[in-house]
Structures are given as C-alpha cells and as structure tokens.
Copies of this chain bind each other. A is one copy, B any other.
C-alpha cells in the first residue's frame, strides 16, 4: 500500500496563502479550569478537524481577568504558563481577529460581567460565540440573540445548560417537530450530591454541605447552588434558547434545598420517596411558566436513580411521548467537550 504524498515537501513557502485549506482562529475568554480544559481539548482535536472538515484550527488568543497571550501562528499547550499581565479584555481578544470566541469566565447573573462584554463585542463583529458561563445569558440573553441575528453570527450555549447532558439540542434537534408539554430537570450537581448525602448517609444539610465543601463539590458561599439560583439560570436559558419562551428570572418561582429539615428527610424515607431539586417548564395554553423546587419522587421514577453528581432532563412531547436523558461526565472535561460540540456544529455549518 502506498501512503499519501507528503505535500509539504512540494509546496512553496507561502503555501498557506495560496492553499484552499481554511483557517479557523479561536479565542478563549476566561482561563481557569474550564477555559484551560477547552484550550487543551481544542488543540488535541486539531487532527480531527483537519481530516473531517479540512480546516486548520488555531488558538489565536486566550485571556483571564488579568493576563493573556495571543499568537497569529497559534498558541500551544506550553504557552499556557506564560500569560502576560495586562493582556485581557474584549479589545485584546478581538485584536487577534478570531473567527470563534469561546467564553468560559466567571458568571454574574446581575451584571452579566465579564462575559457580556466579550460576547457582545464578538457578535457585533460577526464572530461566532460559544458561551459556557451563564451570567451574560441570564442578564441579557435576548439582547445577545438580537445582536447575533444582526450580524449572522452563531450564539451557542450547550456548555451553559448542564454541559455534557444534552438539553437544548434535544429540543432543537432530536425532538424536532414536536410540541413540548413539560420539561423537568435535575440540573445542579451540588444540590443533587447534598440531597443524596442527606438521604443515604443520614447527614443534616449543614453537615452534608461541610463535607461537600471539604471535597471541593460545593463553593465556600454555596447559596447560588443550594438556594436554587444555578438551577433557575439553567431553566431560564433552556426556556429562552430552546423554546423561545421569553422568560426572565422574575418569572421563575425559585426555592432551594437550604431549608430541608431532618424531619422532612425522615418523612421522605418513611414514605420511600426520593427528594430531588427539580427545575421545570410547563406549557399551558401556549404560554410557558417555570419554577425551581424540591420534589419528592417515588423510587420507581427514573429520576430517583439519578444520584450524586449526575444530571437529568425529562421532556414530555405531543407525538414522541416522554424522553429522559441522564448525564454524568467528569468536570471540567465534560463542559469543555460540550463547548467543542458547539464549535464543531459551527464548523460544519460554515466551512
């Protein structure tokens, strides 16, 4: 068998300028655990992108809140440890002229910062945006959708809604054509882990939380998870990006697990029920409403099996019946992989 000819040896040095191989330059805003996982996975998949889509993917620029780095030739793994202070912000990333922005920074629902600045700058310039952090999408999802529509850029959000668990793409792709009657989700791993610990290990909420914080499964200020706001944010993004429901946080009744008592845990155990923090969206007369709260389910309900750090979604449709999906990918790789699913869909659509 004869292998393919090594074209490099026959090509002039200005090959890239005259070749038909397309380059895709990627910039990453937010360079903590998730951002770095995205960057590493993107670089590791360059051969895949070249062989499947005939594109040459380069990491043009990355930045955290204080430091960053860019290179027209593309950054490599070893560059990640020599970020330069002061190179940060939308203007810095946009100067690298990326084709795609991946936003993986911290998340603030009340201001949308810092993601909103990066995403908005990208979309206004016709640069496709893949969003992982929920802040900007909760703060101004509609505004960002409008700005994307204006320039024809893609705005993709798989990484922001339960990551490796398919959610929005179940609605938009797998169940295409259906009407959606009800959507329920176990969307927050921390609260699911805490409820499992309280039910299975007999721990109080306070003790379970302390244990989770020690293990790194809960934040030092855990209220965003425990009071249901993280679930509510995912429900909101799912409703607006998956169903075009036009909801705001004010439309969602939000309750968490912070007030679950030992007596309640005992009562659920006695009744052989399993409590789950459920985010739900229901359609009535064509109008969607959403809420977040604890629901005690019978053991025969498949959601009762979704333990620990797994997540799940149940979608009730008119013609396809009920579809349940359960996911349990390890972070940060699962989220990085969800963002790069979005990336690959963009590459397929545009190149």
Decide if A14 is an interface residue (CB 8 Å cutoff).
no
Could you say which residues of chain B place their CB within 8 Å of the CB of A223? Answer: none
- A333 with B319: CB separation less than 8 A: yes
- B337 with A178: CB separation less than 8 A: yes
Stretch at the interface among A97-105, A201-209, A278-286, A324-332: A324-332
Interface residues of A in 279-334 (CB under 8 A from B): 300, 302, 305-306, 317, 319-330, 333-334
Could you say which residues of chain B place their CB within 8 Å of the CB of A41? Answer: 319
Decide if A45 is an interface residue (CB 8 Å cutoff).
yes
- A323 with B322: CB separation less than 8 A: no
Decide if A33 is an interface residue (CB 8 Å cutoff).
no
- B177 with A340: CB separation less than 8 A: yes
A328 to B: closest C-beta gap in Å: 5
A325 to B: closest C-beta gap in Å: 5
Complex Cα gap A48–B169 (Å): 19
25 A-B pairs whose Cβ atoms sit less than 8 Å apart in the complex: A164-B319, A164-B320, A164-B321, A165-B323, A166-B170, A166-B175, A169-B173, A169-B174, A170-B174, A173-B174, A174-B174, A176-B341, A177-B337, A177-B341, A177-B343, A317-B329, A317-B337, A319-B329, A319-B333, A320-B329, A320-B333, A320-B338, A323-B326, A324-B324, A326-B326
Pairs of residues from A and B, 5 with the lowest C-beta to C-beta distance, nearest first: A321-B329, A164-B320, A319-B337, A166-B174, A324-B326
* Copies of this protein chain in the complex: 2
Proximity string of chain A (44-61) to chain B, C-beta cutoff 8 Å, 1 when within and 0 when not: 010010000000000000
- A324 with B322: CB separation less than 8 A: no
- B48 with A177: CB separation less than 8 A: yes
Q: How many residues of A contact B (CB 8 A)?
A: 41
Majority SS at the chain A contact face: mixed
- B333 with A176: CB separation less than 8 A: no
- B323 with A324: CB separation less than 8 A: no
Could you say which residues of chain B place their CB within 8 Å of the CB of A306? Answer: 302
Could you say which residues of chain B place their CB within 8 Å of the CB of A321? Answer: 164, 327-330, 334
Complex Cα gap A165–B322 (Å): 9
Decide if A237 is an interface residue (CB 8 Å cutoff).
no
Closest residue on chain B to residue A41 by CB atoms: B319
Decide if A345 is an interface residue (CB 8 Å cutoff).
yes
Decide if A336 is an interface residue (CB 8 Å cutoff).
yes
Closest residue on chain B to residue A45 by CB atoms: B177
Decide if A91 is an interface residue (CB 8 Å cutoff).
no
Decide if A262 is an interface residue (CB 8 Å cutoff).
no
A229 to B: closest C-beta gap in Å: 25
Complex Cα gap A317–B178 (Å): 28
Task: For A325, give its contact among B178, B325, B336 (CB under 8 Å).
Answer: B325
